[in-house]
Amino acid sequence: MQARTAGRKHRSIRYAKWGYLFIAPFFIAFAVFLLIPLASTVYYSFFEYFRSGLKIIGPNFVGLKNYAAMIKEVPKYFSNTMIMWLMGFIPQIIVSLVLAAWFTDLRLKLRFQGFFKTVIYMPNLIMASAFAMLFFTLFSNSETGPINSILLKLGIVAEPVRWLSNVWTARGLVGLMNFLMWFGNTTIILMAAIMGVDPGLYEAAQLDGASSTTMFWRITIPLIRPLLVYTLITSLIGGLQMFDVPQVLTNGKGDPNGSTNTIIMYLNQHLYSKNYGTAGAISVLMFLLCAVLCVIIYFTLTQEDDGLTREQRKAEKARIKAAKAAARHH
């Protein structure tokens, strides 16, 4: 019997070795393409390391000097990024919630749902750079631009609108593109969340005379809150990484007056000029911001939804632990 048990253990250990062998490529690739570059970025963020003409300066250790210099500049680019993200996210979440509620309401009996879902998701499949080039052409400042041409012929404006030369219209175009590219994806996520709500809750609310609006705010929104937080934070992480749309739309200049310059565009300018120290400091800051947001997502999606407060949940866990300890003593 013991020999048979030992043989089974030996075979399981041998099989485990094959498992480690199969997952090894992932960990090797993860270390080579993520961990090593990350460690290198953190390392060079403490050094003066840039190109001046044909001469390479550094690397010379400067401590937190790169971070101190970055703190003076980053708030401006951070505010630009957040403004353009909010201009896209606010209409995105509102429209997505409305569409998700409509598509999942069986009482409406909407026809051609599959067609409409496909149409609203299609912009998500278009490359952001191609989308930006399309908008650059449509909203050209000249009178020959398609949008200006239509507005002039209809008599809505007396002279061409300089879309890309005004701070708020340029930011608005970036926000509009982000909204169009992502509201379909958000709608699909929220539809899945709403479909996971127990239909019995809506039936009970209807019997009590609750209106559709009341059920939406009192049942749907509270129960899909974790997915709403997930959508908010993942969108925020994507917003912090905003680069391709404003880069293509403004030809990398962030015009007008740097109002569409994002954090990643600022980072790209330092990489282009070979200023690796400052670029490393900006990258570390972005990594820490995204890491904090990911931790928030984790705790939001894994928290218990049992209707208890934190203190009540702690008291309940303590009671269960004490009961188990008492049972062991008996």
Domain ranges of the chain: 58-320
Token look-up 């631009």 returns 145
The whole-number pLDDT of residue 303 equals 65
For the domain covering 58-320, report its CATH number. 1.10.3720.10
Give the pTM: 0.80
The answer to whether the CB of 178 falls within 8 A of the CB of 85 is yes
Number of residues that make up the chain: 330
d(CA 248, CA 120): 24
The whole-number pLDDT of residue 10 equals 53
d(CA 143, CA 160): 5
The whole-number pLDDT of residue 66 equals 87
The answer to whether the CB of 84 falls within 8 A of the CB of 101 is no
What is the chain's pLDDT, residue by residue, as a tens digit (330 residues)? 454 555 555 555 566 677 788 888 888 998 888 888 889 889 988 988 877 777 777 788 888 888 888 888 888 999 999 999 999 999 999 999 999 988 888 777 778 778 888 888 888 888 888 889 999 989 887 777 889 889 888 888 888 888 988 899 999 999 999 999 999 999 999 998 998 888 888 888 888 888 888 888 888 998 898 889 889 888 998 999 899 999 999 888 888 888 999 999 988 888 887 888 888 899 998 899 888 888 887 777 776 555 555 666 677 677 777 776 776 666
What is the number of other CB atoms lying within 10 angstroms of the CB of residue 65? 16
Please, what is the Cα angle at 316 between 310 and 318, to 5 degrees? Answer: 105
Q: Tokens in use for 276?
A: 């690796």
Token look-up 């507005």 returns 151
The whole-number pLDDT of residue 89 equals 94
d(CA 94, CA 183): 9
